[in-house]
A and B are shown apart, each in its own frame.
Chain A
């Protein structure tokens, strides 16, 4: 039982980071690609801008997740960026 706990303890943060990177990163990129519609651009241009920038955001999020000291910080960072974008995204969709 303690072996199991030990395994979870040692690989848990890594798995958490992988999840944050793969899915959290994508979610953040997707969110920003919708939030961008709130900018004062014509709709087609805004949509395209959102798409174009999304990969940079995704890559940036992945790097962030693995650059910070703890898995907790990784998630926190993603959430902090997501929080202001969420109302923007909801307002335009």
Chain B
């Protein structure tokens, strides 16, 4: 069982680490998006959602006339721009085409800021990666999540005594900090790790397990029954062909605001705008309820009349809604979001320490430490690039955001290319340099890049840290200071790695006794 745990964790461990780290960061993706669009002023208060909705609706009518569907996410506490997408003619037959953009809530026009994906890049990477068809990425994420689930369950079974001796988790006197760290991180975050893994699978369960749906529903109408339980999206039916202007979206949103409270409208979706058969759904915001099950008001698009209100779904659908909400954590206020972030960060560290622990344990058993076997070398180098290298790459993404000129053709894409180019470079570095130096060098590089980022920000934008602090701009100040906190963390890790590298060489002989103590303890546990 402990080998199952090791292999389940190791085989896709690097993928899992990347998912965990990008997922952790994604809890603040909206804040990151704000930071990456410094030209957009922060909103000292949330604008009237009804007015904003109307503005953007009008603009979308200009940009995308004749589209069959558009959808906008209104500004809230964490978002100072409106994100919208709309259906377009598909680029390839059989695919769906859509356009997207960010809009200024004050003017309704597209934001006049640098072209960037913002925090959305990390969020999307987290479950569908990049440079591959979306479905493949999601399957890879799902496979990794299943491996993680098995690793968690087998980990608990291997340490059955966890629940009996929660605090007496003891380790040999000579074991290294990585082992202590992996064990303690796994144990105290266990409820979270299990929850986040299972709920992660639930978010894409329709992709992973479509069989029940396929067996039960034969017609599109029947399938609609199911989708209605899952989201507030109205399927675009046939347009009537008769042109009628869209009724006042502002009025519809106002009715929703009355129902659900101030600033609590999340999304407005319209099918067939400008047609007599238009329908508008105004969905509730995500704050304050731990569920993503659809709650929305449906209006006749041409007349503005309220057609129906949907506020509950069946028990299984509600369960799925709750599990989905638990994973995304969008219901959180600031304190809860920080809790999510911290515990998720611990989860990331758990995966990372697990990967490192594998090499630490195996190194002690190597017949010749100077010439390890291929598998060991592979794991060792991948660890460096996937862990330390990822920190460098993610920071490079932010550096690219500040340094790339704007306007620039496909600027948003180039920020992403920068991320991957740097990541590949870290892999090359890890392959070329001796392992111990590579760790220390990459961690130091990450630390330096993180430390310099707020300074770069001060020099390249109008929003330096001292101004953010003075104005009480929590987003900008928070991110700048978080960079420094992370820089410190990486510096500490770099120093420890460098020091351990210096000590462990002569100490290799005595440490050989430690594995026996380790394995016998694991065997007993």
Contact = CB atoms under 8 A, between A and B. Distances in A.
A61 B449 CA distance: 45
B204 to A, nearest CB: 10
B215 A89 contact: yes
A89 B157 CA distance: 32
Contacts of A49: 316
Nearest to A90: B215
B314 A50 contact: no
B150 A62 contact: yes
Contacts of A44: 225-226, 229, 314, 316-317
Interface in A27-71: 29-30, 33-34, 36-37, 41-52, 54-56, 58-59, 62-63, 66-67
B176 to A, nearest CB: 28
B229 A46 contact: no
A92 B317 CA distance: 21
Contacts of B466: none
B314 A42 contact: yes
A93 interface: yes
A59 B317 contact: no
Interface residues of A, number: 30
Interface string B316-356: 11011001000000000000000000000000000000000
A43 B209 contact: no
A63 B157 contact: yes
B317 A45 contact: yes
Given A45-B314, A58-B146, A62-B150, A52 B212 contact: no
B323 A63 contact: no
B154 interface: yes
A55 B216 contact: no
Contact of B229 (A48, A54, A67, A92): A48
User: Which 5 pairs from chain A and chain B are nearest by CB?
Assistant: A93-B215, A48-B316, A50-B212, A45-B316, A51-B205
Interface of A: 29-30, 33-34, 36-37, 41-52, 54-56, 58-59, 62-63, 66-67, 89, 92-93
Given A33-B211, A55-B208, A63-B154, 10 more contacts: A30-B209, A37-B216, A43-B216, A43-B217, A44-B317, A47-B217, A48-B320, A49-B316, A58-B146, A62-B150
